[in-house]
């Protein structure tokens, strides 16, 4: 095949086959298609990865949430977009804010797009946990867009100018029909940009059912990880409900898929994970 098409030596066999088919149909050489195929072929991974050093290659971003990073081999892999999903009032926003706070403590720029809450309300709830995010806003490390109606282009522009390392979207159900996420060009553009710029993102989505129901939406499949938040009465006599997170998915990471109990302390969310469980990971 290469003898017939010496000019296409850098193309994969698959790409040459596509080119040949179209050239036969058109009866002429199709330069535009050839260029497009060359571009696509660049997506093939050509570097060698040493399996021994894989742990060092995967950079993990700490959530900073007490007891949680240990459950994820040290943190969320850099460049991941993770769904923070679950039922109402279960700590999704608090968890995501804590993730941003950890970045801020390490001088990383962070951005929060909130579609449901005003910026001042977000700041007030942060202050309740003793997080002085006002200081980070003043210093230019944190941008909060409350009740935002930004377009895709505006969001990408913010990424270009502000260059955040961590980004949170709270919540995205309002933006696009969750059943159509995979095909939403808006989301594909944003997700591609997050990955290309090596940011790490938490994307909050809503569920109308708790952990006992195994029903997943497009975003659960599309995202690199799924953290499901829920709360329930453990015993009939309990006055308060117990909060849980289930790590339902985290690509390239060994996880325990049990619901894990957490509490709201005066500093935010905290996990008290039994030692035996950590040993099993
Ligand atoms: N210090 C605290 N102690 C106990 N519970 C708290 C504390 N702070 C917040 N909560 C509870 O956490 C819930 C709110 O947390 P958060 O806003 O993070 O949840 P959410 O999942 O984002 O909620 P929503 O679905 O409304 O967006 C509330 O139900 C509140 O009662
Ligand atoms: Mg919330």
Instruction: Say what the pLDDT of residue 281 is.
Output: 67
247 within 8 A of 255, measured Cβ to Cβ? yes
Instruction: Say what the pLDDT of residue 57 is.
Output: 77
Instruction: Say what the pLDDT of residue 152 is.
Output: 87
Query: What angle, rounded to 10 degrees, do the helices at 152-162 and 185-196 form?
Result: 10
pLDDT digit string, tens, across residues 45-54: 666 667 777 6
pLDDT digit string, tens, across residues 154-194: 999 999 999 999 999 998 887 767 677 777 888 888 999 99
Atom number, ligand 1, closest to the C-alpha of residue 116: 27
Residues with beta carbon inside 6 Å of ligand 1?
88-94, 229, 264
Residue with CA at minimum distance from ligand 1 atom 29:
89
Atom number, ligand 1, closest to the C-alpha of residue 129: 1
- For residue 1, what pLDDT band results from cuts at 50, 70 and 90? very low
Which CATH architecture group holds 53-279? 3-Layer(aba) Sandwich (3.40)
Instruction: Please state the φ and ψ torsions of residue 142, each to the nearest 5 degrees.
Output: -125, 130
Instruction: Say what the pLDDT of residue 2 is.
Output: 43
Cα distance between residue 170 and residue 84, in whole Å: 9
Mutate to test the pocket of ligand 1, among 126, 264, 265 (most ligand atoms within 8 A of CB): 264
pTM comes to 0.84
pLDDT digit string, tens, across residues 86-140: 999 999 999 999 999 999 999 999 999 999 899 999 999 999 999 989 999 999 9
Distances (CA, A) of 227 to 124, 161, 168, 182: 25, 30, 14, 19
Distance (angstroms) between ligand 2 centre and the Cα of 251 equals 24
Cα distance between residue 209 and residue 81, in whole Å: 22
Distance (angstroms) between ligand 1 centre and the Cα of 120 equals 16
Instruction: Say what the pLDDT of residue 23 is.
Output: 84
Instruction: Say what the pLDDT of residue 6 is.
Output: 47
Mean pLDDT of 197-224: 93
Residue % of the chain over a pLDDT of 70: 90
**What residue spans define the domains of the chain?**
6-41, 53-279
């Amino acid at each position: 095949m290469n003898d017939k098409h010496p000019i296409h030596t850098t193309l994969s066999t698959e790409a040459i086959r596509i080119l040949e088919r179209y050239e036969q149909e058109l009866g002429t050489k199709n330069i535009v298609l050839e260029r497009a195929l060359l571009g696509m072929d660049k997506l093939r991974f050509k570097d060698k990865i040493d399996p021994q050093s894989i742990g060092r290659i995967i950079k993990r971003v700490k959530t900073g949430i007490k007891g949680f990073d240990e459950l994820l081999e040290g943190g969320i892999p850099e460049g991941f977009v993770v769904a923070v999903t679950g039922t109402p009032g279960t700590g999704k926003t608090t968890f995501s804010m804590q993730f941003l706070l950890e970045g801020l403590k390490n001088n990383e720029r962070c951005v929060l797009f909130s579609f449901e809450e005003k910026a001042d309300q977000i700041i007030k709830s942060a202050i309740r946990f003793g997080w002085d995010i006002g200081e980070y806003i003043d210093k230019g490390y944190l941008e909060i867009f409350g009740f935002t109606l930004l377009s895709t282009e505006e969001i990408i522009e913010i990424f270009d100018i502000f260059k955040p390392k961590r980004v949170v979207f709270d919540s995205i159900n309002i933006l696009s029909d969750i059943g159509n996420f995979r095909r939403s060009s808006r989301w594909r553009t944003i997700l591609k940009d997050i990955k290309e710029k090596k940011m790490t993102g938490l994307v909050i989505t809503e569920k109308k059912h708790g952990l006992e129901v195994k029903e997943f939406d497009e975003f659960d499949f599309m995202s690199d990880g799924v953290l499901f938040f829920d709360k329930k009465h453990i015993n009939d006599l309990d006055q308060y409900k117990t909060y849980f997170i289930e790590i339902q998915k985290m690509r390239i990471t060994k996880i325990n898929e049990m619901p894990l109990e957490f509490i709201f302390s005066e500093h935010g969310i905290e996990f008290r994970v039994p030692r035996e469980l950590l040993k099993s990971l």
